[in-house]
Amino acid sequence: MVQSRADGATVQAWIELRTDDPEALSALGVVRSRLDAGRSLAGLRRLRLFELHGRLPARAEIEALLHRSTWFYNPHKERCTLRASSREGSPVAIGEQAVLVVERGGERCPSAERWWLHETGQAIEVRTGLAWLLRFEPGGEAAARAAELAVVTGRAHGLLCNPNAQDHALAAAGHLPLPWIGSEPGRRPGGARKRGTT
């Protein structure tokens, strides 16, 4: 059941490991050595993205709540960056291509929503997805390569999203939508989402 997005604000929480991310390192190694489109991939980061939607408190209080809860991130090993408007900067660095991967039908976080309601008395929606940030060596069509790596279509093509169970969206630094998760492509003018193609 999706509530109307007309009411309330949306805040993004970007979560990144403080240390080297073994998952991103493994993926980078495989992409570079096995996939044609990945030979020029120079760097790969993995961030978890939460979008909180509803009647939200002030930014500092959101930060404190996220820090306190165990449903969002672990401050001991991860850092969290909030983004409350599309004008704000994002963790996506200049030159990076972002690939968002969302479990189809599994983007909502009922446990986190329940926790939030219990702590604040406010019912909000929490959605989550995984953002892969790709940095390519200069001299190529980065966006096209990112698109090719995004969707797995065969042994030699794509990795990050299996379109049979996951949706994905692409964005470049500086053009990161807010909200980004779960909005229907038809409903957003100039929608950033691309459905994967086979």
Partner 1 sequence: MNVAAGVRAAWTEAEAADPAAVSATLRARGVSLDPDEVSLLAELLGRPPWWPEAVLFGILWSEHCSYKSTRHLLGRLPTSAPQVVIGPGEDAGVVALPAPCEDLVLVLAHESHNHPSQVLPVEGAATGVGGIVRDVGCMGAEVIGVLDALRFGDPRAGVHARDVTRGVVQGIADYGNALGVPNLGGDVVFDRGFDSNCLVNVMALGLAPRDGILHSRVPEGGGPWAFVLVGKPTDESGFGGAAFASDELGGDQRGAVQLPDPFLKRVLHVANAEAFRRVRERGVTAGFKDLGAGGVACATSEMAAAGGCGARIDLERLHRVARPLPPEVLLCAETQERYCWVVPEAFAPELCAIYNREFALDQVAPGAGASIIGRALEERRYQVGWDDDLLVDCPIEAITAGRRVLRPARRRPPAAPAKPRREDAPPREALLALLRSLNQGSREYLFRHYDSEVQGRTWLRPGEADAAVVRVHPERGLGIAVAVGGNPYWCESDPELGARHAVAEAARNVACAGGRPWALTDCLNFGHPEDTRVMGDLEATLEGLAVAAESLGQLASHGHPLPFVSGNVSLYNQTGDHAVPPSPIVMCVGVVRDLSCAMGLGLRRPGDFLVLVGEPRDELSGSAYLRDVLRERGGAPPTLDLAREARLQELAVLAAEGGWARAAHDVSDGGLALALAEMALATPLERPLGLDVDFEALETSAELAMFSERPGIVFEVSPERAARLFQAARDRSLLAWPIAAVTPQPRLRARVPGGGTVEWRLDELRAAAGAALERLWNEELA
Partner 2 sequence: MKPRVAVVQFPGVNCEAETARALERVGLEAEIFRWMRPESEFARFDAYVLPGGFSYQDRVRGGALAAKHPLVERLAERAAKGAPVLGICNGAQVLVEAGLVPGGGAVELALARNRMPGRAGYYARWVRVRIAPSRCLFTSTLEAGTVLPLPVAHGEGRFTARAAGRVAELAAAGQAPLRYTGAGDEASPAFPDNPNGSEEAVAGMCNAEGNVLALMPHPERAQDLGALSRAASGPWADRRDARLEVALQAGAGRAAAGDDDGPGLAIFAGLARHLAGRGRA
Which residues here bind partner 1, judged by CB under 8 A? Answer: 19-20, 22, 25, 29, 69-70, 74-77, 114-115, 117-119
Strands (E), 6-151: 9-17, 41-54, 78-83, 96-103, 125-136
Of 93, 96, 176, the closest CA to residue 137 belongs to 96
Binds partner 2 (CB under 8 A): choice among 150, 159, 170, 176: 159
Can residue 185 be called a binding residue for partner 2 (CB under 8 A)? no
> Could you give the CA distance from residue 42 to residue 112 in angstroms, rounded to a whole number?
35
Can residue 22 be called a binding residue for partner 2 (CB under 8 A)? yes
CB of 82 to partner 1, least distance (A): 21
Looking at this protein, which amino acid is placed at residue 83?
Answer: R
Binds partner 2 (CB under 8 A): choice among 2, 30, 42, 123: 30
Nearer to partner 2, 35 or 142 (CB): 35
CB of 50 to partner 1, least distance (A): 17
CB of 168 to partner 2, least distance (A): 12
Can residue 26 be called a binding residue for partner 2 (CB under 8 A)? yes
Tell me the backbone φ, ψ of residue 49, rounded to 5 degrees: -120, 130
CB of 118 to partner 1, least distance (A): 4
Contact 12, 62 (CB under 8 A): no
DSSP 176-195: --SS-SS--GGGSTT-----
Question: Which residues from 54-113 bind partner 2, rule CB under 8 A?
Answer: 103-106, 111
Contact 150, 198 (CB under 8 A): no
* DSSP bridge partners of 127: 51, 108
According to DSSP, residue 36 is labeled G
Q: List residues near partner 2 by CB under 8 A.
A: 22-23, 26-27, 30, 34-35, 103-106, 111, 152-155, 159-160, 162-166, 198
